[in-house]
Every structure is written in structure tokens, then in C-alpha cells.
Amino acid sequence: MSSVPERSDIDEEYKWDLDSIYASDEEWDAAFEDVVERIPELEAYEGQVTEDPETLLELLETMEEVLREVSMVVSYANLRSSEDTRNQEYQAQAARAESLASKARSAVSYLDPELQELDREEMQAFIDEEPALEAYEHYFDDVLRTKAHTRSAEVEEVLADLSDVTGSPSDIYSMLANADLEFPTVENPEGDAVEISQGNFTKLQKHPNREFRKTVHEQFYDRWADVRNSVGSSLKNSVKKDVKMARIRDYDSAREAALDGPNVPVEVYDNLLETVRDNLSHLHRHAELKREAIGADELQMWDLYVSLTGDHGPEIPYEQAKEYIIEAVEPLGEEYQERMAEGLEDRWVDVYENRGKRAGAFSAGTYDTQPFIMMNYQDDAASMFTLAHELGHSMHSELANDAQPWHDASYEIFTAEVASTVNETLLTEYLLENVEDDELRVHVLDEYLERFRSTLFRQTMFADFELQIHEIVEEDGPLTPDRFDQLYGDLKAEYYAPAETDERIAREWMRIPHFYYNYYVYQYATGISAAAAIVERIREEGEDAAADYREALALGGSEYPIEVLETAGIDMSSPEPIEDAMGVYESFLDEAAELLELE
């Protein structure tokens, strides 16, 4: 029987090294209590923020000391809870950590409102009198920029104190999807029993046997139907939370509020949706190539993930994937390449799926820790590309942490998704140019096309759905599971017009955790567009362009995202990068059609 192993059955070398944060849970407890004792230090400055420059600097330095420790406490607890969502001890630890973080945020919630009592000239006078404050110029600019949307110190304290409560829809969904929801076991064509999971569903949908894919599709989404009311309620309340928070801060919409955080113009979102809709013909062509490749009269929803070659593709063990990725990033410079290789040996990565492990993949960590990458590696090309993706995030953090002080190191998701997809693009080009195995080359080409499909088109479809469901709540309309189904099903039918949609695929919204992240997903699509342009520039200009890109990564959060990408030579305020990405997608479709003798 093919089954998901327990965590204890996996070798230590394939688990991340959380002992590098705290050597034991007891050490974590001590750090937790230390932060608890220091929170009153932060509260003591209330009402004194603008008293004089020296007091302001003292507060900022104290806040940094406390919040850096808070971030480590939270990171350790969250990473432990992700290892096995069934472990109640670590779930409780994560809840305690989040509550502590909420208290710490609440303890300094007065800071921005009090700073906003100063105008820009008064703030500059503070900096002139205390030059050490100059290091905080970007932070001060950001605070003053959002002055119109910051409430009184009392209201800000309440909002900060409620943060662990307002996050409950996402928490409830995560526990349901990852811990409580069990999926059926099905028999594969080889006669083995295979347990469907959140982690392996996509891989099973790539199986060459069409009837097996159909069975997996039906059983998976039928199981989701059993909890549609629970998931519908959690998503509805998550959207209502976004809308209410935006109204509290006097924004016209939840989208405006979400994009104003990183100072991304709303036009960037509109450009994305409009440009992708204008180019759906490329996605439709990809779907037609799949239909022809599998020899079907009609493409069905359980065919969308299947390779153009119609089979699994070659097995790519984790060790081989590491070698390919390290070689692929050579254009980014020797130091970048060597640092990534060292990280892979230093147990940055939690490699394999285990029972109860959180689904998907992510890169995490803090200013004072190494990066930590969660994988559910499946020995295939998709997993290899996901590893490259997450390593992009980790290397972004490493470069930013090296170059920036703590308060400027943390970068926005908008730029983060560029770093991850640059790595994917470099991996594709390296393998196509250097690997002699024709089978692997074809699958690499197919995988990159899938990345484009799932990142540029699918994430834009998600962004469209997210916009629609928020607008319904903003217009005081009802959100029900049936309404979610209808909206999502219509979008799926539009985006994948050559394929037949079924009632089950309309439930796909239920399995997407990113809908709880408040206008998050569009950044995957803008990210892959910018990444394609950056890699093309590096190919044309060499080290000068690579240096610009490394400089952009090293900026971290010291500038706004649009400005960061301008450093790398990319203008995301225009639709041009998205249009250029469409051209890349089309060229790869041409190559695939020629290699596989399709069309």
C-alpha cells in the first residue's frame, strides 16, 4: 500500500534544523517568558513618542529588541505546528505564540498614531537633531503616507489586540483542511492502494491513466462537498473581516486597503486582470495541445494537470534536483550560488511529506535565523521547480538581511514572488540548454508551461474570484457556498473554455488556502511576469543586469516594491511586463508543439 509516512520514519537529514532557533521546547518557554516580561517596557513609552528625538530613538531600539525575539518565538512555534498539524501540544504552542505576538503589537499600537502627530518638516527636524534616526527614514515615510487611514491610539490598540481573533477563519480552515479532513484511498492502475491527500492530489492528477485521474478528481471533490458549509462559512467570514477592517481604516474597498499596505497602485491589479483576459487565447491553445496530446475528443477537468507527453515524466530524486538548481543559478553570481548550496547542506529544507504535515510549500524564518523551507517533495519535476521557487524566497531573505537593518529587511510579497520565479525561469533555461536526456527536456518544457499556466493564468483567475467575492460583501450582498460555486465555476469555464467543466470543479475554491490571505494571489502573476523580464535582461546584458537584480533583492523593504523592481530594470506600473510574459509563454508553446508534433 502506498501511504504517507509518519514523521518519525523520515531521516533527520531531510528535516529542517529547528534546534538552530531553540535547542529545546524548554528554551522556547524561557524565551516566551522573557518576552512577556519585556512587553511592559514597550507600553511605558505611550504618550512620549514625539517628546524628543532621543526618546523616539530609545523606543525604536527597544521595540526592535523585543520584536526580534517575538518573531523567533512565533517562527519556532509555527514551524513545529506545521510538521504535524495533529500534534495538539504544538498547536497550543503556536496559539500561545500568536497571542503573544498580538500582545506585543498591541503594546506598541500607539506608535504610528503618535508619530503621525508630526508633519514631514517636524519629522525632518527630529532626524537633523538625532542623526541615528536617519536609518528609519523609509519607515517614517510609510507611517506618514498612511496617516489618513490610521485611527486613534485607542482604536489601534483594540485592532492590534484583536489580530489573533480576526485570523480565526484562516486558522479554522487550516485545521479542517490539513488535520481533520481525511480523503479516500483509491486503487491505482498498478493495483496499489493510494491515499489521496492535500499534498499528493496534484501529482495524482498527472497520472497517465485517464480513468484513474477521473476517479481521484471525483473522490477528492466529493469529500470536499461533505464540508462545504463549514468552508463556505470560514471564507465568508474571512472576506467580511477584510471588508470591515478596510472600512474601519476609511478605505473605499478591501482591495485598496490591501494594496496600500505595500504601496502598490490599484492600477497594477487592473492591468493584470485586463491583460490576462485579453490573452486567454494562449491558455486556450495550451488546453487544446493537451487535448490533442492525450487523444481525447474533449478535455475534462481531470486532464488539466496531465503532461503534454501523457506520462509521469522521469523521476527526479531530491539530491539530483539540488544539483540542477545550484547549477542553474550560476548567472546570478558565484556568491549567490555558493550560499544556496551551503543552505541546502545546512538543513534549510524539510523535504518529504508526512502524516499531518501542512500541505504545500513555503519559505519562512526571521532576521536572526536561517531560512526554513517546507516541502512535500514527490520526486518529480514539479517538486524540483517548487524547491527552486522556495529557495528564491530564502536567498532573497539572506541578501536583504545582510544588507539592511532589521526594520528595513522585511520585503513585500509583491517582490518576493519575483525572486522565487526568477529561480524557476533560470532552472528551465539551464535544463533545456544543458541536459541531453530528451525525455527530461520535454518534461522540463512542459513543466515550465504548467508554471506559466498555473501562475500567470490560474492565479489571475483566483485574483478575479477574490475581487468578485469582496465586491459582493462591499455591496452588502450574501455569500453562500452556492454563490461561491457559481462565481468560481463561471470563471473556470471562461479561462479554460476548450475544456468541459463539471459541477465538482466549481468546488475548487474550497481547497485554496490563499483566499484567506487578503488579496495575496495576484502577486504570483505579477511576479512571474517581472521574473521573465529580469531573466531575459540577464541573458542579454550578463553580469551588469545580474548585479542590478542582486541589488534589488538586497534592498529588502527599504524601498517600495515598484521602486525595488525599477532597480532591477522592470516597470510594473505598466502592462508591458505582463504582455512580454505572454510572448514568452507563446514561444514555449510553439516549441512544445514542434517537439511533440502537435497541431
- Residues annotated as part of the active site: 390
**What are the helix (H) ranges across 475-509?**
481-495
Rounded to whole angstroms, the Cα distance separating 487 from 468 reads 8
**What are the helix (H) ranges across 130-176?**
137-145, 153-161, 163-166, 168-175
- Burial track 386-401 (b if 16+ CB lie within 10 A, e otherwise): bbbbbbbbbbbbbbbb
- Burial track 552-568 (b if 16+ CB lie within 10 A, e otherwise): bbbbbbbbbbbebbbbb
Inter-residue contact 59 to 45 (CB < 8 Å): yes
Rounded to whole angstroms, the Cα distance separating 46 from 472 reads 40
Nearest to 115 by CA among 148, 140, 145: 140
Inter-residue contact 390 to 228 (CB < 8 Å): no
Inter-residue contact 371 to 18 (CB < 8 Å): no
Inter-residue contact 413 to 525 (CB < 8 Å): no
Rounded to whole angstroms, the Cα distance separating 224 from 203 reads 18
Q: How many CB atoms lie within 10 A of CB 99?
A: 14
Nearest to 446 by CA among 295, 310, 250: 310
**What are the helix (H) ranges across 17-87?**
25-43, 53-83
Contacts 24+ apart (CB under 8 A), 429-432: 429/328, 429/535, 429/539, 430/324, 430/327, 430/328, 430/330, 431/324, 431/328
Q: How many CA atoms lie within 13 A of 168 on its CB side?
A: 8
Non-local (6+) Cβ contacts of 168 within 8 A are none
Rounded to whole angstroms, the Cα distance separating 62 from 18 reads 26
Cell of 418: 519575483
